[in-house]
Structure 1
Amino acid sequence: MTDVDGIDPSVPPSGDGCVDCDAAGGWWFHLRRCASCGHVGCCDSSPAQHATAHHKTTGHPLVRSFEPGEEWFWDYSSDELYESGPELAPPLSHPVDQPTPGPAGRVPRDWARSLHR
């Protein structure tokens, strides 16, 4: 990634899970972290798709995967994937012991039926 406009590497993530799902008592499949403000939202496969909603509300263009072992960024403004980018403030993912989907105790048994494909 050569253009780092829209990235603030000093901002920590907003939490260990999707802030909006946590507030509503929902659940998520995978997590994405806004590279501008640190907002952690759920991916587009998740029922609520909060990461994309955050982009649409704020115009913040870049997210980074908030999954353990993943370093890629997605640019909403250009629909481009970047395999890596600038280092962001820790933590770089949700806790390794946090289940996927998550969080524990809120995921329905038939969770796969609720995913967006």
Structure 2
Amino acid sequence: MHSCAHLAQTQDPPPRTPEGCEECLSIGMRWVHLRKCLSCGHIGCCDSSPGKHATAHYKEVSHPVVASFEPGEDWRWCYIDNVIG
């Protein structure tokens, strides 16, 4: 398995919009699944959602790791190293 220092250095900030994707909520769009940025707490929708706001957030601010924000899921993804943890 490929090692990833980003996954080991994550934080757990509070979600900025616990009710859903920050961008989707502001424009009235629907999402499929949610991801939380482990650098700042941004909640964005997954790449299966029309907006792909979690990935857009990474591309805009370069925060490397997101976690699933779905009930019962406990995983993290590093955009830089393409590693799940």
* TM-score normalised according to structure 2 size: 0.88
CA RMSD of aligned residues (A): 1.4
Match for residue 60 of structure 2? 57
- Tell me which protein shows more strand as a share of its residues: 2
**Counterpart pick for 2:16 among 14, 17, 23:** 14
Give the secondary-structure state (helix, strand or coil) at the position aligned to 2:77.
strand
* TM-score normalised according to structure 1 size: 0.65
**Counterpart pick for 1:69 among 64, 67, 72:** 72
How many angstroms apart in 2 are the aligned matches of 1:49 and 1:14? 17
Structure 1: state its 5+ residue gaps: 83-117
Indicate how the Cα distance of structure 1 residues 60 and 45 shifts in structure 2: closer, same or farther if over 3 A, else same. same
Matched, 1:25 2:28: yes
Task: Quote the offset at 1:8 in angstroms.
Answer: 2.5
- Large movers: runs of 4+ above 3 Å: none
**Counterpart pick for 2:82 among 55, 66, 79:** 79
- Tell me which protein shows more helix as a share of its residues: 2
Whichever residue aligns with residue 35 of structure 1, its letter is: L
Task: Quote the offset at 1:39 in angstroms.
Answer: 0.2
Aligned length: 80
Task: Quote the offset at 1:58 in angstroms.
Answer: 0.4
